[in-house]
Amino acid sequence: MTGTTHSASARHGPELLGQIVVLIGGSSGIGFETARRARAEGAEVVLTGRNPDRLTQAASAVGARQTAAFDATDVAALKRFFQELPGSIDHVMVTAGGPHYGPLLEVDSPHLRDALGGHVELGLEVTRNAVGKMRPGGTLIFMGDAGSRRVAPGIGIASAVSAVMPLFVAALALEIAPVRVNAIAPGFVDTPLSAAVLEDRLEGRRAELAERLPIGRVVTPADVAALAVHLMANTALTGATYDIDGGQQLVF
Ligand SMILES: NC(=O)c1ccc[n+]([C@@H]2O[C@H](COP(=O)([O-])OP(=O)(O)OC[C@H]3O[C@@H](n4cnc5c(N)ncnc54)[C@H](OP(=O)(O)O)[C@@H]3O)[C@@H](O)[C@H]2O)c1
């Protein structure tokens, strides 16, 4: 196992050599691609998700050292997972939990609480259970949402939700230093989640983005994975939320 706190100038070779990365939501989309990228940079990965078949497939595709199938919002199951995880870990990324769209007046109280507090609650529970096992210099990474930041018809509660994560991450970074805390805020990313949300509007949205985004193409899970691995490797980064949207906020 390597030490964890190197300055950027001191690093050579694979950026995460010998480090252990836990992906809560590692069987699909951004989490899965981050697992693949972390492996390519020399890390060992532990993948979790609810669907055991999808998890097994993902684990064999990336050569994961361990998997665990459970619902991350189940507090007892989450606690058990971290308790049973052998040894120390370096980084934990949480991609479980989806967005909440739709007209505000159609959101009932339980959904409102889940939408506003769910990501933070999951983030806090993960942190509570993981932090004692994390090596100094490692990072927690949570997901924000740059795509919903601007208020627009149909976005509903999602804009308010997207405002919470940057301050949560900043406060947590102070509280649990020297473990680092960061968030990634994507716009549209071409993942199974986006396909499920957009359904038959997916192709149209892809085409629209490819035409209008300054980068001239849609953002892929591999793009986000590259940012996630950079946040893990660069020990100068903490308390911040990093947008990755191909310029979406500038043109939509
Ligand atoms: N895709 C985008 O355009 C976009 C934009 C902004 C923000 N985000 C955020 O980025 C995160 C990842 O998105 P994605 O597009 O990569 O989604 P995805 O392809 O659906 O992947 C989500 C992963 O999390 C797991 N998961 C979901 N809920 C879980 C739960 N309660 N417990 C345990 N595992 C769970 C899924 O596996 P199982 O279903 O088997 O559990 C899967 O492995 C989400 O929080 C999303 O809101 C995405």
**CATH number, domain with residue 170:** 3.40.50.720
Distance CA 95, CA 98 (A): 8
| Triad 11, 25, 134: Cα angle to 5° | 45
In a domain, 178, yes or no: yes
The fraction of the chain above a pLDDT of 90, given in percent, is 91
Distance CA 236, CA 180 (A): 9
Distance 234 CA to ligand 1 centre (A): 24
pLDDT of 2 > 60? The answer is no
- pTM across the whole model: 0.95
Overall average pLDDT of the 200-222 stretch: 98
Token couple for 208:
């629209």
pLDDT at 12: 67
Sign of CA dihedral 94, 44, 243, 55: negative
Distance 122 CA to ligand 1 centre (A): 13
What are the Cα distances from residue 39, in Å, to 32, 132, 182?
A: 11, 24, 20
In a domain, 209, yes or no: no
Which of 22, 23, 27, 28 is the pocket-test mutation for ligand 1 (most atoms within 8 Å of CB)? Answer: 28
pLDDT at 1: 36
pLDDT of 9 > 60? The answer is no
In a domain, 117, yes or no: yes
Q: Give 11: exposed, middle or buried? Use CB within 10 Å, 0-12, 13-18, 19+.
A: middle
Work out whether strand 180-186 and strand 240-244 pair parallel, antiparallel, or are unpaired. parallel
Distance 98 CA to ligand 1 centre (A): 6
Quick one: which atom of ligand 1 is closest to the CA of 47?
A: 43
Distance 97 CA to ligand 1 centre (A): 5
In a domain, 250, yes or no: no
pLDDT at 243: 98
pLDDT of 100 > 50? The answer is yes
Instruction: Determine which residue's CA is closest to atom 12 belonging to ligand 1.
Output: 95
pLDDT at 7: 57
Write out the residue range of the structural domain in which residue 165 sits. Answer: 14-189+222-242
Which of 57, 141, 191 is the pocket-test mutation for ligand 1 (most atoms within 8 Å of CB)? Answer: 191
In a domain, 30, yes or no: yes
Tell me the pLDDT band of 153, cut-offs 50, 70 and 90.
confident
In a domain, 167, yes or no: yes
- Structural domain tally of the chain? 1
Work out whether strand 139-143 and strand 180-186 pair parallel, antiparallel, or are unpaired. parallel
- What mean pLDDT value characterizes the chain? 94
Tell me the pLDDT band of 62, cut-offs 50, 70 and 90.
very high
Overall average pLDDT of the 19-33 stretch: 98
| Nearest residue to 64 via CA among 72, 73, 54 | 54
Q: Which amino acid is at 4?
A: T
User: Which residues surround ligand 1 with Cβ inside 6 Å?
Assistant: 25-31, 48-51, 54, 71-73, 95-99, 143, 145, 147, 186, 188-189, 191-194
In a domain, 247, yes or no: no
Distance 192 CA to ligand 1 centre (A): 8
pLDDT of 171 > 80? The answer is yes
